[in-house]
Structure 1
Amino acid sequence: MTTAASAAHLSSLPERDGSAARARQVTKAYGAGETRVTALDAVDVDIERGRFTAIMGPSGSGKSTLMHCLAGLDAVSEGRIWIGDTEITGLKDKQLTRLRRDKIGFIFQAFNLLPTLNAVENITLPMDIAGRKPDQAWLQQVIDTVGLSGRLKHRPGQLSGGQQQRVAVARALAARPEIIFGDEPTGNLDSRSGAEVLGFLRRSVDELGQTIVMVTHDPVAAGHADRVLFLADGAIVDEMHNPTADSVLTRMRRFDGKRTS
């Protein structure tokens, strides 16, 4: 059921068009001369606003490097990257820190919760550090979306792994970032808890209008996305829309067959 407050928030969400992030001719290389390793090779990509994008590929394909460059966690060797309308390539450290704080959310494999704070304190911590007061109606909607209403006073040690990752998801959502990046967010969870967290991520896109980019090796996780990008040897070699776990697994097997043939 949509309350008047949540309806007002939904009416203010960004339109589901345009790019939340984009990269043009992005190259990331390490070393020089004979020791030079190219992790990303002239990548062009647009991340659609209000959609769930998964990035997949074998180990060493560049998928985590691409996410780190898009999020401004790693500098590119060549090319340009934008978050929304802001070009992040060339920004100084303080500017990048401010942009990540204000426009980007992160969900990592490790939950990264402070053990001395309860769930709601962990959720609002980034805003507290930035001196911003949470939008209480939005915060409640996020808490309801990830199913944490009955656990807000619990500290991390009193929560299961799945519940801790729900707190991490809510923390990423609470500041209403333009885009959320997830690096194997269900990697430390059992299959049931992982499915719950993926369901919450899916709901945050469908019901809250969030944009999510998730690096994963798991076809089941990728099956929750709207679009899957496949990387190999530092390049985007294929993509799939409206994936299922089976269709993703079939596509990945095809790549594995090409790499071993």
Structure 2
Amino acid sequence: MTATATTTRTAARVADAVKVHGAGDTAVRALDGVTLGFPAGRFTAIMGPSGSGKSTLLHCAAGLDTLTSGSAHIGDTELGALDDRRLTLLRRDRIGFVFQAFNLVPTLTVAENVRLPLDLAGRRGDPDWIDALIDVVGLRDRLHHRPSELSGGQQQRVAVARAFAGRPDVVFADEPTGNLDSRSGGEVLGLLGRAARETARAVVMVTHDPVAAAHADEVVFLADGRLVDRMAAPTADRVLDRMKAFEVPS
């Protein structure tokens, strides 16, 4: 799983991305000309104040929402050029998702939950890849347990393994530690970074938490729908200081 983690391939990107909600005097420009790439083998965090456009960026980059203008790509595929069916297939086959809610099926075991997207797609998947994933997320001794028998942190580990099971180009995570205590959250964030590097996949996370962002390889900052800063090798203190600069004095 570690052979190609040093690649500089861009797994996902947006170019001149504009998203406008509403029309006329009530129009809101949620994204205002954002150009950004997410490299394979890297863990990128997106931060910004409330209303900065970070969730809109994630949704448009993942094909869950459409841009008003500009383009979004997964690899070399432009999402705006796909009809609904092809877009659905692309999201199924080339994108993984991790959400704040674990979204596990309570009647299925850990092993069955990890395989669920592949089973729904009628795909066998790569047994060696899935077996290695189980070790990456540390769930070898929990494969036959159901979600109710797991802690919140363990359930989110299952969700992470499920997101990577189909060998997607990119995994998008939306506040993935929002329902976890700090210790479990730290473990899941460390896991996301390790999974990105060891599987040579891009991981893109939206978060409001400087401590969570510090686990990423890079943090990108949005404000008023625009890309305003980037920070490599972030620390929680540096991220917090940057976020304070967005605060408007009362």
Corresponding residue to 1:228 among 219, 229, 236: 219
- 141, 150, 154: which one pairs with 1:150? 141
User: Partners in 2 of 1:18 and 1:176 — Cα distance?
Assistant: 15
Of 162, 165, 168, the match for 2:159: 168
Q: Does 1:139 align with 2:130?
A: yes
**How far did 1:113 drift?**
0.5
User: Which residue of 180, 183, 187 corresponds with 1:192?
Assistant: 183
> Structure 2 CA distance, aligned partners of 1:199 and 1:111?
17
**Map of 1:3 onto structure 2:** none
The answer to whether the aligner puts 1:254 opposite 2:230 as a matched pair is no
**Do residues 76 (structure 1) and 59 (structure 2) align?**
no
- Is the aligned partner of 1:57 residue 2:48? yes
Q: Measure the CA separation in 2 of the matches of 1:111 and 1:192.
A: 17
- The aligned runs of 1:16-95 (5 Å cut-off) are 16-95=7-86
- Judge conservation of contact 2:41–2:198 (CA < 8 Å) in 1: no
Cα displacement (A) at 1:90 = 2.9
User: C-alpha displacement at 1:15, in angstroms?
Assistant: 5.5
- SS for the counterpart of 1:89 is helix
Among 90, 96, 109, the alignment partner of 1:99 is: 90
Whole-angstrom distance in 1 between the partners of 2:6 and 2:211: 28
Paired residues of 2:153 and 2:180 also in contact (CA < 8 A)? yes
Q: Secondary structure at the match of 1:154?
A: coil
| Secondary structure of 1:181's aligned partner | strand
Runs of 4+ in 1 over 6 A off after TM superposition: none
The alignment partner of 1:220 has SS state of helix
RMSD: 1.2
* Structure 1 letter corresponding to 2:31: L
The 2-side partners of 1:14 and 1:203 are apart by: 10
- CA deviations on 1:132-161 (whole Å, 9 max, x unpaired) are 113111111111011100111111111111
> Partner residue of 2:172?
181
Determine helix, strand or coil for the equivalent of 2:80.
coil
User: In structure 2, how many angstroms separate the alpha carbons of the residues matched to 1:160 and 1:178?
Assistant: 28
Structure 1 residues without counterparts, runs of 5 or longer: 1-8
Amino acid of the structure 1 residue aligned with 2:122? G
Name the amino acid aligned to 2:61: L
> Residue type matched to 1:244 in 2?
T
**CA distance in structure 1 between the partners assigned to 2:188 and 2:104 by the alignment:** 16
Higher relative contact order (CA 8 A, sep 6+): 2
Q: Deviations for 1:39-84, whole angstroms, at most 9, x for unmatched residues?
A: 1111111111211100001111100000000000001111111110
Following superposition, the deviation at residue 173 of structure 1 comes to 1.1
Identity within the alignment, %: 60
Q: Which amino acid aligns with 2:249?
A: T
User: Residues 172, 79 of structure 1: CA spacing in aligned structure 2 closer, same or farther, 3 A cutoff?
Assistant: same
Q: Which amino acid aligns with 2:55?
A: S
Structure 2: which 5+ runs fail to align? none
Report Cα offsets for 1:162-185 as digits up to 9, x if no partner.
Answer: 110000000001111000000000
Post-superposition Cα deviations, 1:87-117, rounded to whole Å, max 9, x if no partner, equal 1113111010000011100000000011110
Aligned mates of 1:178, 1:65 — CA distance in 2 = 20
TM-score normalised according to structure 1 size: 0.93
TM-score (normalizing by structure 2) = 0.97
How many pairs align? 250
